[in-house]
Amino acid sequence: MIKWIKDLWYSLVRFIVMVIGHVFWRLRFEGCENIPKEGAFLLLSNHQSFLDPVLCAVASKRRLTFVARDSLFEVKVLGPIMKSLNAIALRRGESDIVAMKAVVARLKEGNAVCLYPEGTRTVDGKIAKIKPGFGLLTRRGNAGVVPMVIDGMYELWPKGQKYPKRGEVNVMVGRYYSPQEIKEAGEEGFAQILTDQMRSMQAQLRKKAQREEFIYTD
Let me know: does 55 contact 21? Beta carbons within 8 Å: yes
Q: Does the model's pTM come out above 0.95?
A: no
**Section 106-118 average pLDDT:** 94
- Domain-located, residue 113: yes
pLDDT at 94: 57
- Domain-located, residue 158: yes
Indicate the average pLDDT of the chain: 90
End-to-end Cα spacing for the chain:
47
**Section 190-212 average pLDDT:** 96
- Domain-located, residue 215: no
What Å distances lie between residue 216 and 36, 44, 59, 121, 126, CA to CA? 31, 20, 27, 17, 8
- Domain-located, residue 63: yes
- Domain-located, residue 192: yes
pLDDT digits 0-9 by tens, 15-70: 998 998 889 899 999 999 999 999 999 999 999 988 888 899 999 999 999 987 78
pLDDT at 95: 61
pLDDT at 129: 94
Residue 83 sits in a domain of what CATH number?
A: 3.40.1130.10
Render the burial of 82-117: b for 16+ CB within 10 Å, e for the rest: beebebbbbeeeeebeebbebbbebbeeebbbbbbb
* Domain carrying residue 112: 3-208
**Section 105-109 average pLDDT:** 96
Residue type for 138, please? T
- Domain-located, residue 217: no
pLDDT digits 0-9 by tens, 113-142: 999 998 788 999 999 999 888 888 999 999
Look at the chain and report how many structural domains it folds into. Answer: 1
pLDDT surpassing 80 at residue 93: no
